[in-house]
């Protein structure tokens, strides 16, 4: 494994962490909360993002406007049946999703989810590091080259650990701040 390969895989892990925690509720309306909800669109499960315009006209409201108005009931049902536990109302033109304020207990549950996803990212990075070190020991006979490789690897690992922590801390602050 080269440094470039390690960096590429670590970047993918960082992107995955960001994506996986972006859908965690914070008490504020955010289109990413509902974008991935699957709607039964003419018999095919389709992500909401691919069949509707999603906006946030108010801090606590998401408005979903399907491109095909006949799908309003399907969108409403999909949002209500999702694990987000959000109320959805179909007014004949759009589906409005009100985001209720989070209770302190619910905020703590979401913070735990963020911590778990952060831990998963750190474990993936550790696994990448171990793979890199194994290959370095097998492929490099020169002690100097191995030491330089280990040093550059350690710098990269620290960089990504810091990035993972920053992403998780930012999301935790977003969840715990009361709006």
> How many folded domains does the chain comprise?
2
Residue 112 pLDDT exceeds 60:
yes
**The pTM is what?**
0.66
pLDDT band of residue 22 (cuts 50, 70, 90) is: confident
Residues 120 and 154 in one domain: yes
User: Could you report the per-residue pLDDT of 128-139, keeping only the tens digit for each?
Assistant: 999 888 887 877
Query: Which of 78, 98, 118 is the endpoint of a domain?
Result: 98
Last residue of a domain, one of 50, 79, 98: 98
Domain range enclosing 42: 31-98
- What pLDDT does residue 132 have? 87
Q: Residue 52 belongs to a domain with what CATH number?
A: 3.30.1360.40
| 144 and 108 within one domain | yes
Q: 57-92: per-residue pLDDT in tens? A: 888 889 999 998 888 899 898 888 887 778 888 888
Mean per-residue pLDDT for 167-177?
A: 88
Tokens of 70: 């006949």
Do 81 and 144 have their domain in common? Answer: no
CA distance 34 to 47: 9
User: What's residue 85's pLDDT?
Assistant: 74
How far is Cα 50 from Cα 67, in angstroms, rounded to an integer? 9
Together in a domain, 78 and 114:
no
């Amino acid at each position: 494994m080269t440094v470039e390969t390690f960096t590429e895989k670590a970047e993918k892990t960082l992107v995955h962490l960001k994506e996986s925690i972006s859908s965690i509720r914070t008490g504020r309306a955010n289109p990413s909360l509902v974008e991935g909800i699957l709607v039964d669109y003419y018999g095919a499960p389709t992500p909401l993002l691919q069949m509707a315009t999603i906006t946030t006209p108010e801090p606590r409201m998401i408005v979903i406007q399907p491109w095909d108005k006949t799908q309003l009931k399907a969108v409403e049902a999909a949002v209500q049946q999702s694990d987000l536990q959000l109320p959805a109302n179909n007014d004949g033109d759009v589906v409005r999703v009100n985001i209720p304020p989070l209770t302190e207990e619910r905020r703590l549950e979401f913070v735990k989810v963020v911590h778990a996803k952060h831990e998963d990212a750190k474990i993936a990075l550790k696994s990448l590091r171990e793979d890199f070190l194994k290959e370095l020991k097998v492929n490099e006979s020169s002690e100097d080259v191995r030491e330089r490789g280990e040093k550059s690897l350690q710098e990269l690992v620290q960089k990504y650990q810091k990035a993972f922590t920053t992403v998780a801390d930012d999301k935790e602050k977003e969840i715990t701040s009361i709006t």
